[in-house]
Structure 1
Amino acid sequence: MQHLFDLYGWEVNVYDTIQQGLINRTYSVKTTHGDFILQSINHNVFKNPKAIDANINAIGAYIKITNPDYLYTHLLPTLQGNTLIEWEGGYYRAFNKIEGYALSVLDHKAQVEEAAKQFANFTYTLKDFDAHRLTDTLVQFHDLNFRYQQFTEAIQHGNAHRIEQSQEEIKLLLSFKNYVDTYNNYIHHKDVKKRVTHHDTKISNVLFNKIDDEEQAICVIDLDTTMSGYYISDVGDMCRTCLCPVSEEERDLNKIWVDGEKWQALKSGYLHYMKDELSNYELDHFFFGGQFLIYMQALRFLTDHLNNDSYYGASYEGQNYQRTLNQIRLLEAYNQLG
């Protein structure tokens, strides 16, 4: 680690590993000149770390010119001016540490509204940035056609025993193919555009802080999946992760329900910035964002189960099957709002 510290010219007092996301390894570094975040990029997941570096820097340069007061996680250059370091087979980058905290659970609707505002403000701030300049860091990440194709292939070529055991769930998810049709109509509509989209809008990717004794969301973090995309991806992932009091790991399906007040807060928060940026056709598909993303995640979990847990892995037998049941129940609960 000392080699990395030297590249930044840091005189380090102490550093600790911190829990921030599941993909990258993250360190909090205290130096004589301030506090920083040092992070390794998991290049088993992100095959092109240089694209991530280029995307974050391109957005950062634009923000410095157009909205310098916007709180953004700019990459910190080394003494030689590099923002991505290759060292001992890994990739590293650093940021100035922003004072704030992330939440794993939302206790009340005000937090949901604050989080939704921040994700919306991120896209709004970049409304005039050419999203096609960004490289896809996870190709076909939120492409429902691709995920449905993977699912149908797993039904044909996956674990025969698991396929037989999952017939009820397979038939149910196949019966929801109308979501794929709606998705295709949406992405090909003349009034739908691609924008700079975060693509990972879970609650832990927003920093909060107390300002005048009031809890406020202050910025979005973890920009590795920021790419050109559709706003329903960001709305959908918020619906999937912010409206239910339990996570995708919950095995007691009776605990899975959707809070209608949090849904209204999410919609109000997001449209605070984005209402005038979206076409009427896009606005009409706001609710579909949740259906699209929850359904896609159910497909992905069952696909992985049928493929012997080759992508997500499993800490116990049938974990991805349980996750599938969880997301199907969440989709049913979400649809009750409509």
Structure 2
Amino acid sequence: MHQHEKQAIKDRAGSLEECLHRVFFAYGIDHDIVQAEAFGNGLINKTWKVEVGNKKYILQNVNSDIFNEPWLIANNVRAIADFIRDQHPDYLFVTPVQTIGGDEMFHDETFGYFRLMPFIPDSHTIDVVESPEQAYQAAFQFGKFTGSLSGFDVSKLKITLPDFHNLSLRYEQFHNALKNGNGERIKQAQESIKLIRQFEPIVKEFDKIHSASSFRQRVTHHDTKINNVLFNKQGKGICIIDLDTIMPGLFISDVGDMMRTYLSPVSEEESDFSKIVIREDFYQAILHGYNEYMAKELTADEQQHFLYSGKFIIYMQAMRFLTDYLNNDKYYGAKYPEQNFVRANNQITLLQRLTEKEDALGAIRN
């Protein structure tokens, strides 16, 4: 169904405001006393901060175009919440408020799935990592999350995003784009394509890892950007949030995404590649923070692949951006014609900088 057809159906079914009345009714909240305002800058789900008297909540409309089966998210969060309640009752794990019918989410026929979560008092998020201490605090929280769930049966978790961090699949999609993509863009991107091919050993190492018994499937967040950690007023991490991508996975997914988004002072949108550098003290902060809980959990083989984690995720993201550019921006879209090409080369540069510092970073120990 095309987007304009979806919108036409929504128009006939009533406004979003009317939908929110139905949502609040499902949670037993009188919508006449609700104050709701748009919250955050997330790109996937619509989010509101809701105030009902002296109580505050976060309300989200789950993007079903990304998460085709949102109830799988609810299954995962509930299974983990039950385990934490029994095994680690002092651990702060933010779980959705149940509807008056006892459901983890409310489903609206027109606007899809909604979930309501308590707002943690005196908490905030940050969008850019500005200090090694912030990197340490975030890495500590993600390590604490996975470490605290070391006794959890990961087979209970559902796959919310199939093949999300499957590097072998991304490499196959890249080669398909070389065969079937935009010919002019393929010509333009020859140097970038050459560099992606030069880093192919990262894929071969990934394949070895997946067949190695020394790498465990664990409860993995899969989206460890700094804005998925709540901080208090003193700058200390409180807990992790945004639980949609929690699935069974390898530790390299979480550590790698932290490296990709914490090590450089500029984001993937930066077009001046001279600004892309690897900050060694931020790497040390990630290493120390994550290993506060995970040092005894990771095998010797996994510890030896700590730095590889960054290469793995950065390479995959570079390849995904370039693949999308060659395929005329079908997946990520683009605000300007060269955006995904810039992103791809940005990430290729970041990978080169990380590789150049491999010896120095590898010498850093816990």
Counting only pairs closer than 5 Å after superposition, residues 206-285 of structure 1 correspond to structure 2 as 206-210=229-233, 214-285=234-305
Counterpart in the other structure of 2:89: 68
**1:206 and 1:34 mapped to 2: Cα distance?**
21
- In structure 1, stretches of 5+ residues that fail to align are none
Q: 1:10 touches 1:32 (CA, 8 Å); kept in 2?
A: no
Give the letter for the 1:2 counterpart. Answer: H
Counting only pairs closer than 5 Å after superposition, residues 117-132 of structure 1 correspond to structure 2 as 117-132=140-155
Deviation at 1:22, TM superposition (A): 1.0
Deviation at 1:13, TM superposition (A): 3.4
CA 1:185 to 1:250, structure 2 compared with 1: closer, same or farther past 3 Å?
same
Q: 1:159 touches 1:307 (CA, 8 Å); kept in 2?
A: yes
> Which among 113, 117, 129 is matched to residue 91 of structure 1?
113
Counterpart in the other structure of 2:37: 16
Q: 1:195 touches 1:228 (CA, 8 Å); kept in 2?
A: yes
**2:332 and 2:260 mapped to 1: Cα distance?**
18
**2:320 and 2:259 mapped to 1: Cα distance?**
17
Give the letter for the 1:93 counterpart. Answer: R
Deviation at 1:33, TM superposition (A): 5.4
Q: 1:193 touches 1:230 (CA, 8 Å); kept in 2?
A: yes
- Could you tell me the TM-score, scaled by structure 2's length? 0.90
1:58-91 deviations in Å (ceiling 9; x for gaps): 1111111111211111111011111111102411
**1:44 and 1:35 mapped to 2: Cα distance?**
28
**1:4 and 1:268 mapped to 2: Cα distance?**
43
Taking only the aligned residue pairs, the percentage that are identical comes to 44
Q: 1:106 touches 1:242 (CA, 8 Å); kept in 2?
A: yes
Q: How many residues align?
A: 335
Which protein has the bigger strand share?
1
- Could you tell me the TM-score, scaled by structure 1's length? 0.97
**1:173 and 1:161 mapped to 2: Cα distance?**
18
- In structure 2, stretches of 5+ residues that fail to align are 1-19, 359-366
Give the letter for the 1:275 counterpart. Answer: A
> Which among 22, 25, 43 is matched to residue 46 of structure 2?
25
**1:242 and 1:172 mapped to 2: Cα distance?**
23
Q: Matched residue of 1:27: which SS? A: strand
Counterpart in the other structure of 1:172: 195
Give the letter for the 2:229 counterpart. Answer: V
Deviation at 1:131, TM superposition (A): 1.1
Q: Which runs of 4+ in 1 moved over 6 A?
A: none
Counterpart in the other structure of 1:336: 356
**2:203 and 2:288 mapped to 1: Cα distance?**
27
